[in-house]
Amino acid sequence: MASPELDLSIPHAEPALVRDLHECSTQESSIALYTMVPNMPNSRLEEIASKHQGDWESQFEQSSQLVRPARPTANFAGQTLRDIINAHIAMDKELQPAEEGAASAGWRPESFIVVTKDDLEDHGLLFVYAQLEDGDEDDDEEDKTAEGEMGKFFFRPDDMFEMLFELTLESYGYPDLEEKYNMDGEGGDGDGDDE
């Protein structure tokens, strides 16, 4: 589990996280990596971020960085997950206009990863996301997703590439990714409580 002193609470929804999704493409976007671990050096964050870069470049034939330490700062030791959410909203997403179609985003605006412990295997990587509104008229009212509805889950380091690859390919939506990769979920070995 994450250290008990970490405040990992999130709002029910944060529409500002998905605002840019309506106007940009995230096919080549990087996932921002933050840390809440005191005294974690930038070199350790770079190591975590680059772990699957070779797989990314060979499998997806992309030269972009799959995961990058967030800018202007990735270190949020002593702060809350809400502080990271606010920083991620304010981050320059490096939107590049395209000749045709949507602008290309340098950073995924709606999701990011947080390092919560030095021991990554023991609830050390937290995936945080916000979803676009579910506008399907056939859905029950109670099953509809609100604009920017948020979720989070801990995942295993060895699952990072496959999970982010499936996200990039849009093979799965966020609830499906959570069901498949949540280490505290049905197939996991945790206790199911990620708060």
Average pLDDT, the chain: 85
pTM recorded for the entire structure: 0.86
CA angle (111 as vertex; 158, 166 as ends), nearest 5:
50
Length of the chain: 195
Contact 108, 31 (CB under 8 A): yes
Place of tokens 């590049």: 96
DSSP 4: T
Nearby residues of 15 by Cβ (< 8 Å), 6 or more positions away: 130, 147, 148
Full pLDDT tens readout for the chain, 195 residues: 444 589 999 999 999 999 988 888 888 889 999 999 999 999 999 999 988 666 665 666 656 788 999 999 999 999 999 999 999 999 999 998 887 778 889 999 999 999 999 999 999 999 999 998 775 555 555 667 889 999 999 999 999 988 988 888 887 889 999 999 999 986 444 443 433
Q: pLDDT tens digits for 48-100?
A: 998 866 666 566 665 678 899 999 999 999 999 999 999 999 999 999 888 77
Q: Could you tell me the CA-to-CA distances from 8 to 1, 102, 119, 172, 185 in Å, in that order?
A: 11, 33, 17, 24, 18
pLDDT confidence of residue 165: 84
Nearby residues of 13 by Cβ (< 8 Å), 6 or more positions away: 130, 146, 147, 148, 149, 150
